[in-house]
Structure 1
C-alpha cells in the first residue's frame, strides 16, 4: 500500500533531551527499588523473595530512547445530496411553486412540509496528534506527552548521540499508520472534490533514561530498574538494550531508511559512514 500522506515542509525534525536528573540521584532511586526488579510474583513470594543482601548491582548506563511526535491533519472538500423538509405555514396550501418547480405539501405528523432537494458543499478538517514510542511499547499514559514542548529539547541537524537506541518503529511505518488512521475516518459524501492528508509535525525525540541492572544472586536472575532522566520517575519492569547506534546519522537516514538499511547503523555499521558520505557529497560526486 503506498504512503499517501504528504510531509509538509520542515516537518521532519530531531530533538534531544539532556538529563536534568543527576546520575547519583537516579542510582539512589534504583537502589531503593531494586527488590522490585524481578517482577511482582517474586516480590510477593513468602518463601523465596529477593532480599537486600542477595540483590547486587552489576552495571548501569545512560541511554537515549526514541519516540515520535506527530501532528497530522486531513482536509476534505466534499458534496452531499440532501432533502430539506421545509415547513409550510399556510394550512390551506397543497402545493408550492418555487423557482419554476412545483412541490406538493406533505403531512409529517403535525407538520406540513415540502421536500426540497439540495446539494451541500462541505469542508471538514480532521486533526490527529499522538506520541508513539519508537520501541513499540505501551508506556504509561502521559510519559511521552510530558516531554513535548519542554524547553530542554535541543534540535539536531544530525544525530551524534552515544547511547542512542535505533527506533524499531521506523519512520515509514509511522507515516503509514497515521495515514491509515486519518483515512479510516468516514466521510458521508456523494462526491469528494479534495482529500489531502498532511503530516504537519513529524518529530523524532530522544529522551534520557538511566538503566540499572541488578543480579538476584541466589536465583541467578537479572532485573533492570529504569529512572527517567527528566522526571526521575522509576520503572520497575525495565529492559536492557544491547545494541546502540555507533555512527552519525542524518535526518534522511532516520526518516527515510528502511529496516534493512537501518539495521546497519548499530555496532559494526560501517555502511552508515558510507551513506553519510553519499548524502553529503556534492551532486556531481555522488555515485550512480
Structure 2
C-alpha cells in the first residue's frame, strides 16, 4: 500500500504582516483620486469652480486565505525486463559473466533477461487561493514577513476573514494526483508519499468605500497591505468575524486520506504494482539527464 505521511511542519497557520498600515493605505487611496474616478473626471474638476474632496465613507480590513502545499513521492522497486542488442552476422553466441547466450538463426541479436532496480521521485508545489482557486501572483507572498498563528480567531480582533471555499482535502487530491504514478514492478521495495508542506496563509487587504463630496459618486477600492497595490472593485468582499475551527479547514485525517487514495487509484495497493508498460524513449540526452537526477536522489536517500 502507498504510505502517505505528513511532515512535522505541516498544518500551520500564518498571517502576513502589514507593510502598509491603515493610515498609509488611506494615503494611497487619496493620492490616486484620478485612477479611482477616472482621468476625464479629474480633468473636468481641474476647470471646475467647485473643488470637492475625497471622503472615506466606509473601510474594513480583511484577510484573504491561500494554501501552500508541497508533496514528494518516492518509488523504489524491481522488475524483470528483456534486453537485446545486435551482433555481427558471423556471431553465433556471446558469453556474458560466464553465461553463453546463443544467437537465433536468421536473427543477429542477443536476447537475455535482467532484473531492473528502479528508483523514481516526483515533487510538486501548489500555491493557490483558498477562495477562488487562482494561483497567479501568490508565490511572491511566501517571501513576505509573516508570523505564526495559534488560532485564526486572532485575526478577528482587527479584521474579518474571507470564508474558505477550497478546503485541505481538495488541495491534497490535486497534489497527490500529480505525484502519484503507477509503475510496472515485480517487487515493490518502497512506495511513499510525503506531504512536505501544508500551510494556510492569510493575506491582509484594506477595503475602502470613497465618495467625491461634490459629485456624490462612490467607488470601492482595495489596497494590498503587503504590496500597497491599489485595485478598483465592483463589490465589497465580505468577511466573517466568527471563525470555524482549524480542523474544519484541515480536513485531512487518516480516514479522509485513505478514501482519497482509493478514489484516485481504486484498489491502490494492487494497482501500483501492475500498471505501467515500458515505453521506448529515443531521446538519449533526456534519458541521461533523468538518470543523473535519479541517481543523485537515490544517493541522498541512502545518506539519511
User: Alpha-carbon deviations, 1:220-271, whole Å to 9, x = none?
Assistant: 9965322111111223346522231424x5533431399xxxxxxxxxxxxx
| 2:127 aligned residue | 131
3-state SS of the aligned residue for 2:28?
helix
Q: Going by fraction, where is helix more abundant, 1 or 2?
A: 2
Q: Separation in 1 of the partners of 2:114 and 2:123?
A: 29
Quick one: which of 178, 181, 188 aligns to 1:181?
178
Q: Is 1:63 aligned to 2:62, yes or no?
A: yes
Alpha carbons 2:126, 2:175 under 8 Å: kept: no
Residue correspondence of structure 1 range 1-288 to structure 2 within 5 A: 5-33=4-32, 57-86=56-85, 88=87, 92-98=90-96, 99-104=98-103, 113-138=109-134, 141-142=136-137, 144-150=138-144, 152-159=145-152, 160-162=154-156, 163-183=160-180, 186-191=181-186, 193=188, 194-214=190-210, 223-237=219-233, 239-247=235-243, 250-256=245-251
TM-score, normalised by the number of residues in structure 1:
0.66
Q: Separation in 1 of the partners of 2:174 and 2:93?
A: 54
Alpha carbons 1:16, 1:206 under 8 Å: kept: yes
Alpha carbons 2:209, 2:218 under 8 Å: kept: yes
Deviation of the 1:207 alpha carbon:
1.3
Alpha carbons 2:62, 2:239 under 8 Å: kept: no
- TM-align CA RMSD: 3.9
Residue 250 to residue 113, structure 1, CA distance change in 2 (3 Å): same
| 1:266 aligned residue | none
Q: Separation in 2 of the partners of 1:86 and 1:28?
A: 75
Q: How many residues align?
A: 240
Residue 32 to residue 82, structure 1, CA distance change in 2 (3 Å): farther
Q: Separation in 1 of the partners of 2:106 and 2:43?
A: 79
Deviation of the 1:190 alpha carbon:
3.9
Alpha carbons 1:73, 1:125 under 8 Å: kept: yes
Alpha carbons 1:5, 1:175 under 8 Å: kept: no
Deviation of the 1:219 alpha carbon:
11
User: Alpha-carbon deviations, 1:180-239, whole Å to 9, x = none?
Assistant: 2323xx445244723322211111111111112346999999653221111112233465
Q: Separation in 1 of the partners of 2:106 and 2:213?
A: 85
Alpha carbons 1:79, 1:120 under 8 Å: kept: yes
Q: Separation in 1 of the partners of 2:248 and 2:228?
A: 31
What are the ranges of 5 or more consecutive residues in structure 2 without an aligned counterpart?
46-51, 254-304
Residue 235 to residue 8, structure 1, CA distance change in 2 (3 Å): same
Q: Separation in 1 of the partners of 2:105 and 2:230?
A: 69
TM-score, normalised by the number of residues in structure 2:
0.63
Q: Separation in 1 of the partners of 2:21 and 2:59?
A: 13
